[in-house]
Amino acid sequence: MSEAPPRIIITRAAPGAAQTAERLNAIGASVIISPALELCARNEPVPDLDVIGGLVFTSANGVRFFSEACDRRDLPAWCVGPATASQALREGFSLVHQSSGDAHDLAHYIAHHWSGGEKALLHVANAAAGGNLRTALEAEGFSITFLPLYEARTAPALVNEASRALEGVERTIVLGHSRKGMEAFLALARELDLARTEFVVISEQAAAPLETIGATRVHIATHPDEDHLISALERVLGRA
Render pLDDT for 123-143 as a digit per residue (tens, 0 to 9).
Answer: 999 998 877 889 989 998 999
Q: Are residues 191 and 138 in the same domain?
A: no
Residue at which a domain ends, from 151, 176, 207: 151
pLDDT for position 3: 67
Q: In terms of Cα–Cα distance, which of 144, 137, 220 is closest to 175?
A: 220
Residue-wise pLDDT for 186-221, tens only, equals 999 999 999 999 999 999 999 999 999 999 999 999
**CB-based contacts of 114-120 (< 8 A; 24+ apart in sequence):** 117/53, 118/51, 118/52, 118/53, 119/53, 119/143, 120/51, 120/52, 120/53, 120/144, 120/145
The answer to whether the CB of 122 falls within 8 A of the CB of 110 is no
Helix, coil or strand: residue 96: strand
Mean pLDDT calculated for residue range 171-195? 96
For residue 240, pLDDT over 70 is answered with no
Q: Are residues 187 and 165 in the same domain?
A: yes
Residue 1 inside a domain? The answer is: no
The answer to whether the CB of 220 falls within 8 A of the CB of 204 is yes
What is the rounded CA–CA span in Å between residue 164 and residue 169? 10
What is 163-179 written as a DSSP string? HHHHHSSS-EEEEE--H
Residue at which a domain ends, from 135, 151, 167: 151
Residue type, 112: H
What is the rounded CA–CA span in Å between residue 145 and residue 117? 16
Q: Are residues 44 and 141 in the same domain?
A: yes
Average pLDDT of the residues of the chain: 93
Residues in the chain: 240
For residue 175, pLDDT over 50 is answered with yes
Q: Are residues 108 and 183 in the same domain?
A: no
Domain count for the chain:
2
**What is the pLDDT confidence band of residue 68, given thresholds at 50, 70 and 90?**
very high
For residue 1, pLDDT over 70 is answered with no
E strand segments, 137-230: 143-154, 172-176, 198-201, 218-220
Residue 2 inside a domain? The answer is: no
Q: Are residues 146 and 49 in the same domain?
A: yes
Q: What is the rounded (10 degree) CA torsion for 140, 75, 56, 230?
A: -130
DSSP state of 50: G
Q: Are residues 199 and 222 in the same domain?
A: yes
Mean pLDDT calculated for residue range 175-187? 96
The CATH number covering residue 164 comes to: 3.40.50.10090
What is the rounded CA–CA span in Å between residue 151 and residue 127? 5
Residue 25 inside a domain? The answer is: yes
Residue at which a domain ends, from 115, 132, 151: 151
Mean pLDDT calculated for residue range 73-88? 93
Mean pLDDT calculated for residue range 24-42? 95
How many Å separate Cα 220 from the centre of its chain?
14
Name the percent of the chain lying above pLDDT 90.
80
**What is the pLDDT confidence band of residue 81, given thresholds at 50, 70 and 90?**
confident
Single pTM value for the model:
0.82
Q: In terms of Cα–Cα distance, which of 126, 66, 106 is closest to 90?
A: 66
pLDDT for position 224: 87
Give the domain range for residue 201.
7-36+155-236
